[in-house]
Structure 1
Amino acid sequence: MSYSYLFKYIIIGDTGVGKSCLLLQFTDKRFRHDHDLTIGVEFGSRMIRVDDKDIKLQIWDTAGQESFRSITRSYYRGAAGALLVYDITRRDSFMHLGNWLQDARENGNSDMLITLVGNKTDLESRRTVSFEEGQRFARENNLMFLETSAKTANNVESAFLDTANAIYGKVKEGSIDITSETCGVRMGTTALSAAQQKPKERGGCCG
């Protein structure tokens, strides 16, 4: 299927925070209670529409275990967006955000857009991290922020689509160099053919 742009995403965070469940809910509209822990990296994709443009999201879901950290680091390179996920019922996963963020900024490109995601809002009664705490961490580190539930699908679409809208905004204003291999954005056949036609149109009207 043709598309205007391809955006590469990476999903990061501690093991068991629901990264794979968020991906499955977004790509397949379903939730699995018995999702196995990710070994290494899993992959998913979906077509979305932003500003009348078809955009393909290529999403890499990484393992949260420390033993896979070196593998995860190699996937930061060339990612346009990252979802940094913690579990609102597990304070330790929130306390580790600083380490994940440092990894992302050291190994990713400087234009990578990062969205902080507090997952498992369906377990509100077991919450140990307040919305305000997540919001404060995001504000202090210049991140987008929202809370989600992979189980009920609450805000899952927004987590991926808001990030895509922000990336597309950077593409439109020219602050992302889409000719670079490391930017995580690739022009698709639709955008390429439109770009190739522009000089011909100018030549026709001025000749």
Structure 2
Amino acid sequence: MATECLATYKVLVLGDSNVGKTCIVHRYCDETYYDTYISTIGIDFKQKIITLDGTPIKMQIWDTAGQERFRTLTTAYYRGAMGILLMYDVSSLESFNNLSYWLKNIQENASPDVVKVLAGNKCDAIPQRAVDKEMGQRIAENYDMPFYEVSCKQNINIEEVFVTLARLIREQRINQPTHYDSGQNGSVNLELKSRLFDQSIKEQWKCAC
């Protein structure tokens, strides 16, 4: 099947700077891990074609900058997002406390139907742990999100996080197909518009740099 014919699931990765957003995207899409990363400037994205219960799907994963100066740009990318991976660092209490900011941002900018998964990264950093697993579980339960502790370094639960997102997005599309797909009455194809919008903004950002 040609790539352009595949269903495209747009996923945003959100959270504070240095929680491992770029790392998890590279680990999942490229199956690589690097000890150091340059902080994301604005927005970047990668794509990966997966097979979900026998059906090929294109995951379009947007890696967003966590720095405050880029957050206004980041909000533009909520348009058309079907899923959100919200991350914090288990060794950083500040990144956990700032989940309230990101959840409010999601509520204000994302579709009310967007699906969310919460991930606590760096679960392998046991001596540095500052956030208990139970704290993440409580937040996830309060906001009706699946929750995983992950490790990009040790490749723990990386695949599970994105497969869970894909399944939730598929369920949402089945339950409310008109939200993403055009119908006979001229409904807007948000998925197509999202891809065009993403391309336009990314080109503008490159020019600005």
TM-score bracket, shorter-length normalisation: 0.7 to 0.9
Q: Deviations over 1:81-109 (max 9, x none)?
A: 00000000000000000100110111111
Match in the other structure for 1:133:
135
3-state DSSP of counterpart to 2:10: strand
Match in the other structure for 1:78:
80
Residue correspondences, number: 186
How many Å apart are 1:183 and its aligned residue?
6.2
Match in the other structure for 2:158:
156
Runs of 5+ consecutive residues of structure 1 not aligned to the other structure: 187-207
**Cα distance 1:151–1:120, how it changes in 2: closer, same or farther (>3 A)?**
same
Q: Distance in 2 between matches of 1:156 and 1:184?
A: 28
**Cα distance 1:119–1:107, how it changes in 2: closer, same or farther (>3 A)?**
same
Q: Distance in 1 between matches of 2:113 and 2:155?
A: 28
Residues 73 and 107, structure 1, Cα contact 8 Å, conserved in 2: yes
Which residue of 162, 165, 168 corresponds with 1:166? Answer: 168
Length-normalised TM-score, structure 1: 0.85
Deviates more, 1:15-24 or 1:166-175: 166-175
Runs of 5+ consecutive residues of structure 2 not aligned to the other structure: 182-187, 195-209
3-state DSSP of counterpart to 2:180: coil
Q: Distance in 1 between matches of 2:148 and 2:87?
A: 10
Deviates more, 1:168-177 or 1:55-64: 168-177
**Cα distance 1:143–1:183, how it changes in 2: closer, same or farther (>3 A)?**
farther
1:144 aligns with 2:146: yes
Give the RMSD, CA atoms, in angstroms.
1.8
Residues 179 and 190, structure 2, Cα contact 8 Å, conserved in 1: no
Q: Distance in 2 between matches of 1:9 and 1:60?
A: 6
Match in the other structure for 2:115:
113
Match in the other structure for 2:43:
41
How many Å apart are 1:173 and its aligned residue?
2.9
Residues 25 and 63, structure 2, Cα contact 8 Å, conserved in 1: yes
Match in the other structure for 2:101:
99
Length-normalised TM-score, structure 2: 0.84
Q: Distance in 2 between matches of 1:88 and 1:27?
A: 23
3-state DSSP of counterpart to 1:124: coil
Amino acid at match of 2:110: G
How many Å apart are 1:172 and its aligned residue?
2.3
Residues 46 and 60, structure 2, Cα contact 8 Å, conserved in 1: yes
| Higher relative contact order, structure no. (Cα contacts within 8 Å, ≥ 6 residues apart) | 1
| Larger gyration radius, structure 1 or structure 2 | 1
